């Protein structure tokens, strides 16, 4: 018996990490006078099957990309009465291409409660450089060669179909959703030159 093996592709986005809300901050470094200080927050993280209708069934953790899984614990702090109270950090701004380390991204927070006299609030803006393959990525399409002619069942000749795979590759070599390439790259369309019937390709930004 002879077996034939051909490459295939399993969509990397079919499994995603889903989180429960963060727990309350459990103080570990307690101030002797007040119930405040540094602590830890935890949350449950599950790997789930991702469908067109959203996450459905819980699956084994190894099916999810561990580098993309959300964190299950983080440091926190319960402010003492005299401390400044800041909001949660907002999302990071997007890094502008190219990722050469000279560009910066930032995130901000807001003062929720002013501190008592003699104390100050921490900075409300945080910045970091856009570093390639750390927090900034380039994307490119990868197209495979055409397959052999696939005929209908029981046919030995005639018309058939050839297929090929289109993939989006991140600059660190990871295969990602096609939407990332669609956002970063320009698509091409056929337009006609003025006073000419010749078709030319013109870049069109998304």
> If one looks up domain 82-136 in CATH, what number appears?
2.20.100
Nearest to 183 by CA among 53, 52, 90, 95: 95
Tokens 């002797």 belong to residue: 32
Question: What's the confidence (pLDDT) of residue 204?
Answer: 32
* Range list of β-strands (E), 72-198: 73-78, 85-86, 104-108, 111-113, 125-129, 139-143, 150-151, 160-161, 166-170, 175-176, 187-192
Question: What's the confidence (pLDDT) of residue 190?
Answer: 33
**Are 109 and 88 spatial neighbours (Cβ–Cβ below 8 Å)?**
yes
Number of Cα atoms under 13 Å in the Cβ half of residue 80? 12
pLDDT tens-digit series, residues 142-200: 888 888 888 888 878 888 888 888 889 999 888 888 888 887 654 333 333 333 344 33
pLDDT tens-digit series, residues 71-89: 999 998 888 888 899 998 9
Continuous segment of H or E residues that includes residue 62: none
Each domain of the chain, given as residue ranges in start order, spans 10-81, 82-136, 139-204
Tokens 């390709």 belong to residue: 201
Cα 67 to Cα 69: distance, rounded to the nearest angstrom:
6
pTM over 0.85: no
Q: How does residue 90 score in pLDDT terms, banded at 50, 70 and 90? A: very high
Neighbouring-strand partners of residue 37: 30, 78
Q: How does residue 125 score in pLDDT terms, banded at 50, 70 and 90? A: very high
Question: What's the confidence (pLDDT) of residue 195?
Answer: 38
């Amino acid at each position: 018996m002879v077996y034939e093996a051909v490459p295939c592709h399993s969509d990397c986005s079919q499994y995603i990490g889903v989180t429960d809300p963060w727990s309350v901050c459990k103080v570990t470094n307690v101030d002797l006078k007040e119930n405040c200080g540094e602590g830890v927050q935890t949350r449950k993280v599950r790997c789930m099957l991702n469908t067109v209708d959203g996450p459905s069934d819980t699956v084994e953790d190894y099916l999810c990309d561990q580098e993309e899984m959300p964190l299950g614990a983080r440091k926190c702090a319960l402010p003492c009465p005299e401390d400044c109270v800041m909001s949660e950090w907002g999302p990071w701004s997007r890094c502008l291409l190219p990722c050469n380390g000279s560009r910066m991204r930032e995130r901000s927070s807001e003062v929720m409660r002013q501190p008592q006299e003699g104390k100050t609030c921490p900075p409300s803006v945080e910045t970091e450089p856009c570093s390639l393959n750390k927090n900034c990525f380039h994307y490119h399409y990868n197209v495979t060669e055409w397959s052999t002619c696939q005929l209908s069942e029981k046919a030995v000749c005639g018309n058939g179909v050839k297929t090929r795979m289109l993939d989006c590759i991140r600059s660190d070599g990871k295969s990602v959703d096609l939407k990332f390439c669609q956002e970063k790259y320009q698509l091409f369309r056929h337009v006609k030159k003025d006073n000419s019937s010749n078709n030319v390709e013109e870049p069109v930004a998304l």
